[in-house]
Structure 1
Amino acid sequence: MKNTFFKILFVTGLISGFISCNAQLPLNTLMENIPQDAHVKDLNNELNPYMGIYKANYQGREITLYITKVENKLEKSVDKTYYLDALVIKYIVKSSSGVILQDTQNVILQNNAITSHRVRSYDNTIILYYEGTNCSVGWGNIYLKKINATQISWLYKPDDVILTPSKCPGNPDLTIYLPETENPLIFTKQ
């Protein structure tokens, strides 16, 4: 009898482990509901309409966004690892005279990374996390919302912390070049 009980327990554990390892969850799944090694998938192709190149002008600067979709991007949090279909944004910010102020197209480093981490279903908003510039200055959330086939709205809420020079070695550029606005900024697809 004990042998049968342990066999059933073992098989049940294997099955539940297999299911959790291969779980496919929708993009609007809350972080606390994502099991270890799950796949948070773009099951309804919610990210696809955002892909492309978009431009806007703000305070004399031209901002170009290059939005791509990455499938099964490995995400690591303090207590779990999982895979996520995500939007990744690279960008170029130019001055009014055409001088490039910041270009992240070929940057592989963690700073300046912008990656989606959630879809807010009730208002069709993609929430992205910005790692910030040098020493994480400007880190925070970006909210994208599709307006129509050629326009998206952008709202950037930085949680910037002014660091003392001793906490940010060298002489790094601590300027936040991304547009911070009170109201959403409209980007147009190119």
Structure 2
Amino acid sequence: MNTSNNSETFIQAVLEGFVDGILVLTDEQEVMYANTIAHAICTQLDKEQTDRLPRELQQVCQILVESKDLYGDRPLMIESDICTGETTLRIWAQWLKLQATQSACILLRLQDQNQATQGLAIAEAQKWNLTPRETEIWLLRRAGYKRREIATELYIAEDTVKKHLRNIQFKRQSVQDEEDWQSSQAS
């Protein structure tokens, strides 16, 4: 059994399974690994130059490289947000020491904030036991839509949106009250 090959396949499968984009770069910003999500985000950032790292990501990497003089080998993570026309990307950059390389590598994690907000809204809808229609409304509300915009998007009256938002708030508060009560009973 070739455990080295199995480990590489396993690690690659794990990295491909992430919802976030994952890039591993040399300290000179050459791409060693990029998962599918990272490829898509890089293409979104720089539609013309798909063979190099987008300028916004280069800048974050450069800050990490320059910080090495100040902080040495202490653990450090750089966080930055990039606003595109479609979404906001949150970027985390940190040093990564791999056995296969002599010098440290750069690990970039790229998170689409719209997708993260949507995931949170779905989790909240499940936790609060929202109906399918309430879930639709909550997803739009979490995405920043105003009541009138939700009504237009879903082809319903603004008063109906208002009623659903009141029901959502009631369910949310009920869950919170139950959690608070259970917490006070445990003390």
Query: TM-score range, shorter-chain basis?
Result: under 0.3
**Greater helix proportion:** 2
Max Rg structure: 2
